[in-house]
Amino acid sequence: MTFRTFRTFRKEEAIMSSSAISNTQAKAKTGAAVKAALAANIGVALAKFAAAAFTGSSSMFSESVHSVADCANELVLMVGDKASDHKTDGDHPFGLHRVKYLASFIVATLLFFVGGVFAVSQAVGKLTGLVEGTMPREADSLELVAALVVVGVSACLEGYGLHTSMHEARGRMKRVKVESDSLVKFWRRTKSAELASVMMEDTLALIGLAFAGLGIGLSIATGDELYDAIGGLMVGLVLVCGSAALAFKSGSLLIGEDIDPRTREMLVAAVESTSGVNRLINMQAIHMDEDAVLLCLKVETDKFDRDYDVQTVDKIETSIRTALPWYEWEIYVEPDIWRAQK
C-alpha cells in the first residue's frame, strides 16, 4: 500500500468514525425520548383507568385503551431498536436494520388498530344502550368533573411529549442539512420509524383528548350521558384512522424507501465532482434504516483501466462520505461505458 493510498484510507476511516459517533448520539437521544414517553404514558394510563373506573365514562375508557396502546407502542419500538443492533450470522448480509420498521408496522397494524376497534366497540355498545333506554342517560356531573381534570392533566403531559418529538424532528432536519421542511413534510419523508411513530402517537393523543374533553364537558353541561359516549366513539375512530396512516408510513419504510431528493442532489454533486469521473450513469439508493444507506453506482471513468478504476472508486467513496458524513454508507461502484439511448 502506497503512502498516498494509506493516507486516503486513514482519512476515510476518520470520516466513518465521526459519522458513527454522530449517529450513535442521535440514536441515544431518540431512544431516551421513547423511554421518557413510555414512563409518561404509563402514569397517564393508570390515571385514566382509575378515572374510567370511578366515573364509568366512555370517553375516559376509550382514552385508557389509547394510552395502553401508546405504552405497548413504545415497548415494541424499544425491542425493535435493540434487536436491530444485533450481529447476524450471515442470513441477513446487510444486518437487522429493518427490524425497527417491522416493529413500527406491528405497532400500527396490531396495537393501534386493535385498541381503536376495541374502544369503538365499547362506545357503540354504550351508545346503543343509551338510545334503547337500557342504560340511564343522566350524567353524574361530579364524577365527570373528576374525569375532565384527568383529561386536562393528560393533555399537558401529551403536549409536552409532542413538543419533545417536534424538537427532535427539527434536530434531525438540522443534522442532515434539511431545515426548510414543515413538520408534516418531515413526517412523510423521515426514515426514522421511532420518530414517526412517536410523533403520530402524541398527535393522536391530543386529538383524542380534545374529543374526550368535549364529550365529557357536554355531558356535564347537559346532564346527558350520550355526549360522553359519542366522545368515546370519536376517540376510538381517531385511533383507527391514525393506525391506517402509520401503517402506510411504516409499510413504505419496510418495503424500502429511496433517499430524500435533497440528499440525492448532494450525492450526484459529490460523485460528478470526483476527479476521474466522466459521467454518473445510474444511481440506486435505499434506506436500511434512518442512518444506514445502501448505495449502488454505475459510473464512466476517464480511463477504462482496472488500476485507474480502483483508485477512482476509492475517491468516489471518500467524496460521498465527506459530503454526507451523517449517514453510514454501504457503497458499491461499477465502472462502465455510457451508451446513449436510441
| Model pLDDT, residue 30 | 53
Helices 3-55, 141-175: inter-axial angle, 10-degree rounding: 170
Residue 111: pLDDT band with limits 50, 70, 90: low
Place of cell 374510567: 52
| Model pLDDT, residue 272 | 92
Q: State the Cα–Cα distance between residues 230 and 58, nearest whole angstrom.
A: 8
What pairs with residue 329 in β-bridges? 293
Q: State the Cα–Cα distance between residues 314 and 41, nearest whole angstrom.
A: 49
pLDDT at position 15 over 60:
no
| Summary mean pLDDT of the chain | 79
CA atoms within 13 A on the CB side of 180: 1
State the alpha helices, DSSP H only, in 133-260: 141-175, 183-189, 193-222, 226-255
DSSP 272-314: HTSTTEEEEEEEEEEESSSSEEEEEEEEEESS--HHHHHHHHH
Query: What is the length of the chain?
Result: 342
- Give every CB contact of residue 59 below 8 A, 6+ residues apart in sequence: 147, 151, 211, 212, 213, 215, 216, 228, 229, 231, 232, 235
Q: Are 34 and 43 in contact (CB under 8 A)?
A: no
| Model pLDDT, residue 134 | 65
Q: Indicate the burial class of 169 (C-beta count within 10 angstroms; 0-12, 13-18, 19 or more).
A: buried
Kindly report the backbone phi and psi dihedral angles of residue 118, in degrees, each rounded to the nearest multiple of 5, phi listed first. Answer: -65, -45
Q: State the Cα–Cα distance between residues 83 and 250, nearest whole angstrom.
A: 17
Residue 269: pLDDT band with limits 50, 70, 90: very high
pTM for the model: 0.75
| Structural domains in the chain, sorted by start | 3-255 (1.20.1510), 261-335 (3.30.70.1350)
Kindly report the backbone phi and psi dihedral angles of residue 24, in degrees, each rounded to the nearest multiple of 5, phi listed first. Answer: -65, -40
Residue 6: pLDDT band with limits 50, 70, 90: very low
pLDDT at position 331 over 90:
yes
The more confidently predicted of residues 111 and 23 is 111
| Model pLDDT, residue 36 | 67
| Model pLDDT, residue 341 | 60
* Digit-coded pLDDT (tens) for 210-231: 998 898 888 888 888 888 888 8
Q: State the Cα–Cα distance between residues 278 and 260, nearest whole angstrom.
A: 24
The more confidently predicted of residues 15 and 159 is 159
Q: Are 235 and 62 in contact (CB under 8 A)?
A: yes
Task: Tell me the mean pLDDT in the region 44-67.
Answer: 79
Using the Cα atoms of residue 83, residue 84, residue 87 and residue 92 in order, give the sign of their dihedral.
Answer: positive
| Model pLDDT, residue 268 | 94
- Cα angle for residues 124, 126, 132 (degrees, 5° grid): 100
**Helix, strand, coil tally for the chain in percent (to 5):** 70, 10, 20
CA atoms within 13 A on the CB side of 325: 14
